[in-house]
Structure 1
Amino acid sequence: MSTDASNEIRLAAESAASRAAETAADVPGQEPGNQSSPRRKGLSERDRPLWMLIPGGFLMIIIIVVPLVLGIYMSALDLDQYTLRKWISSPFIGVENFVEAVTASPLLNAVWLSVSYSLIAMVVTLPLGIAAAVATQNAFKGRAVIRSVFLIPYVLPSFVVATVWRTMFQPEGIIDRALGTFGIDAGLWLNGPQSFWTLVLVQIWASWPFIYLLALSGLQAVDHEVHEASALDGALWWNKLRYVVFPYLKGPLALAFLIGMLHHINNFTLPFVLFGVPAPADVEVLPILTYVTSFQSFRFGLSAAMAFISLVLIAIPLFIYLRAVKLDDAESPGAKK
């Protein structure tokens, strides 16, 4: 082979290699010399969703985690009005505040009052909310007005509701006068044993629209074809409610029951404005007791222990509900094992 032919072959090979290198450089995600493997994304781009959680996580730490840690630390101190100025150097007493809260304070009675009044209120509001939702589900003239009226107790602030009812329950107030026309002497509503039932009554009036809203949302999920099939089969209204409507309300009502219970147990504004402080012993619920212990008795360490105990009591039903929801999702058809 001649020298000229060899040079031409060598130049053609070099030109082909150069064009192949330029083509590889132009392909995105592919490096020259390694044409078979695509270029990996950078770490910041791959973890970008995690970086976007930083602002919300920072706020959660400041608003939730830091006060929780401080509250737990305060519950282990003998913190009162004498040691508050230098509370970091207050005497460390460990679990003595928790022992005193359980054994030597009315904490257990406050827990019983909170749970019992919340449970009674929820048992009454559940059928009321369901009945109102069923009554206003189908279209009729004036339905929008009735739905708006039903929501009035729910949209009013708690202190407004408590103030109005406190005025109505005053001696010689509108309720006493209305009962007096029938010859009924109701006695004191805001003091004594009747104060417990006054709190239950006001809580029922203020909270039943919440059950109504969730029940109404559950009714909207019922397929119209199911209603038509039950009507063609000649199902009575009670059987229709029991076997067609109520299964759709199981999830929303369970959620409403849990949220309502937790809200009632933590409700401070309603009993505080309705009865004042110090509240009668029959309505000294857990938030009121914690407030009185902290800002009237100035036992800040003891009140922090009470607050932590109430947090644990609230977390128990919440954990049970979340666990039940997780099990239901796992057992549902098509769920990932």
Structure 2
Amino acid sequence: MPGRHRPLWLLAPGAVLTVLVIVVPLAVALHISLLDLDQYSFRQWVRAPFVGLANYTEAVRASGAVHAIVLSTSYAAIVTVVTLPIGVAAALATQDRFRGRGLVRSVFLVPYVLPAFVVGTVWRIILQPDGVANGLLARLGIDGGLWLNGRQSFWALVVVQIWASWPLLYLLALAGLQSVDPVLHEAAALDGAGWWDKLRYVIFPHLRGPVGLAVIIAFLHNINNFTLPFVLFGVPSPRDVEVLPVLTYVESFQNFRFGLSAAMAVLSLVLIAIPLAGYLRAVRLDVGQDGVDQGSRA
């Protein structure tokens, strides 16, 4: 009997770490979001006035949280939709062996392995009014205008994030391609399947799981990205690129509204949990369907 519960004890270190790293900070954040905590009450934050849901109400009605949520969601969705075909196409292009494939794969990973601070700094120099981007556009007879301020700043953020994040989808799509059994490729060739038929009926079905995971991870990464917009535009950033992580930072470390910023952080967590819950439910349904199919075959 004692050995029967031994596997549960093996999970204890991970459970303790999860409680310390995730559960406790989340509980503290939820508690702070219910307090009127600012620079005046920070020294005795446990005794700060309890305001209930007032911070959430202010975040939705009085602050720019709603605008930041819409901005973050649209920006993350555009980047994810654009990087998906780029990543899958790059994975398909580097799947088969050819001379220099290792070098090409390494070059493809450069935007992803560079620190976000470096990427933001380099692109900030490129997008200056007298920078490389406007210089190239001027040769084509196009007035680039201001990329780091005004309406064009949103599209500048989208372009830079696309450049920096497409290798993530490339990596996961490439991992999915490597899991395809070579026997399936040989069988498709023997059946006379063309390039498109092979891509549609052999490769794409095996990419559904990895690509679905890649889309969710990329979307969550983009919607929660702080470093790139912070370095690229600075603080205070233009309203068109004041995404939710940057707004939360401003309310916390510049305005010292810690209760309000905690409420915004909780809203950000809810925003992230929605697509994640949808993906987990889809995966569970797929597993259940596979189990039903295997049971019916047996």
TM class by smaller structure: over 0.9
Q: Secondary structure of the residue that 2:294 maps to in structure 1?
A: coil
Q: Secondary structure of the residue that 1:290 maps to in structure 2?
A: helix
Task: Judge conservation of contact 1:329–1:335 (CA < 8 Å) in 2.
Answer: no
The structure whose RCO (Cα within 8 Å, separation 6+) is larger is: 2
Supply the distance in 2 between the matched residues of 1:327 and 1:63 (Cα, whole angstroms): 30
| 2:65 paired residue number | 107
Residue 234 of structure 1: CA displacement? 3.0
Query: Given the alignment of the two structures, is residue 78 of structure 1 paired with residue 40 of structure 2, yes or no?
Result: no
Residue 335 of structure 1: CA displacement? 6.3
Query: Given the alignment of the two structures, is residue 126 of structure 1 paired with residue 84 of structure 2, yes or no?
Result: yes
| 1:327 paired residue number | 285
| 1:28 paired residue number | none
Tell me which amino acid in the other structure corresponds to 2:294.
G
Supply the distance in 2 between the matched residues of 1:120 and 1:208 (Cα, whole angstroms): 12
Supply the distance in 1 between the matched residues of 2:18 and 2:206 (Cα, whole angstroms): 35
| 2:164 paired residue number | 206
Q: Secondary structure of the residue that 1:82 maps to in structure 2?
A: coil
Aligned-residue CA RMSD in angstroms? 1.4
> Alignment partner for residue 290 of structure 1, among 230, 248, 268?
248
Q: Secondary structure of the residue that 1:226 maps to in structure 2?
A: helix
TM alignment of 1:208-227, pairs within 5 A = 208-227=166-185
- Runs of 4+ in structure 1 displaced over 4 angstroms? none
Unmatched 5+ stretches in structure 2: none
Return the TM-score normalized by structure 2. Answer: 0.95
Supply the distance in 2 between the matched residues of 1:56 and 1:331 (Cα, whole angstroms): 30
Residue 329 of structure 1: CA displacement? 0.7
Residue 47 of structure 1: CA displacement? 2.5
- Structure 1's 335 and 107: CA in aligned 2 closer, same or farther, altered over 3 A? farther
Task: Judge conservation of contact 1:286–1:310 (CA < 8 Å) in 2.
Answer: yes
| 2:205 paired residue number | 247
Residue 176 of structure 1: CA displacement? 1.4
Query: Given the alignment of the two structures, is residue 301 of structure 1 paired with residue 270 of structure 2, yes or no?
Result: no
Task: Judge conservation of contact 1:126–1:208 (CA < 8 Å) in 2.
Answer: yes
Supply the distance in 2 between the matched residues of 1:208 and 1:201 (Cα, whole angstroms): 11
> Alignment partner for residue 21 of structure 2, among 44, 57, 63?
63
Residue 237 of structure 1: CA displacement? 1.7
Supply the distance in 2 between the matched residues of 1:56 and 1:234 (Cα, whole angstroms): 51
Q: Secondary structure of the residue that 2:23 maps to in structure 1?
A: helix
Residue 48 of structure 1: CA displacement? 2.6
Supply the distance in 2 between the matched residues of 1:250 and 1:243 (Cα, whole angstroms): 12
Supply the distance in 2 between the matched residues of 1:192 and 1:169 (Cα, whole angstroms): 13
Deviations 1:76-123 (A, max 9, x none): 111111111111111111111111111111111111111111111111
Q: Secondary structure of the residue that 1:139 maps to in structure 2?
A: coil
> Alignment partner for residue 158 of structure 1, among 89, 107, 116?
116
Deviations 1:165-204 (A, max 9, x none): 1111112111111211112110011111111011111111
Is the radius of gyration larger for structure 1 or structure 2?
1
Supply the distance in 2 between the matched residues of 1:144 and 1:318 (Cα, whole angstroms): 33
Residue 135 of structure 1: CA displacement? 0.7
Supply the distance in 2 between the matched residues of 1:63 and 1:248 (Cα, whole angstroms): 35
Q: Secondary structure of the residue that 1:328 maps to in structure 2?
A: helix
TM alignment of 1:26-65, pairs within 5 A = 41=1, 43=2, 45-65=3-23
Q: Percent identity?
A: 63
Residue 51 of structure 1: CA displacement? 2.3
Supply the distance in 2 between the matched residues of 1:312 and 1:119 (Cα, whole angstroms): 17
Return the TM-score normalized by structure 1. Answer: 0.84
Residue 303 of structure 1: CA displacement? 0.7
- Structure 1's 93 and 184: CA in aligned 2 closer, same or farther, altered over 3 A? same
Residue 259 of structure 1: CA displacement? 0.5
Task: Judge conservation of contact 1:113–1:285 (CA < 8 Å) in 2.
Answer: yes
Tell me which amino acid in the other structure corresponds to 1:257.
V
Tell me which amino acid in the other structure corresponds to 1:158.
A
- Structure 1's 267 and 335: CA in aligned 2 closer, same or farther, altered over 3 A? farther
Supply the distance in 2 between the matched residues of 1:124 and 1:172 (Cα, whole angstroms): 28
| 1:259 paired residue number | 217
- Structure 1's 112 and 149: CA in aligned 2 closer, same or farther, altered over 3 A? same
Supply the distance in 1 between the matched residues of 2:257 and 2:249 (Cα, whole angstroms): 10
| 1:141 paired residue number | 99
Supply the distance in 1 between the matched residues of 2:213 and 2:252 (Cα, whole angstroms): 32
TM alignment of 1:8-27, pairs within 5 A = none
Query: Given the alignment of the two structures, is residue 91 of structure 1 paired with residue 35 of structure 2, yes or no?
Result: no
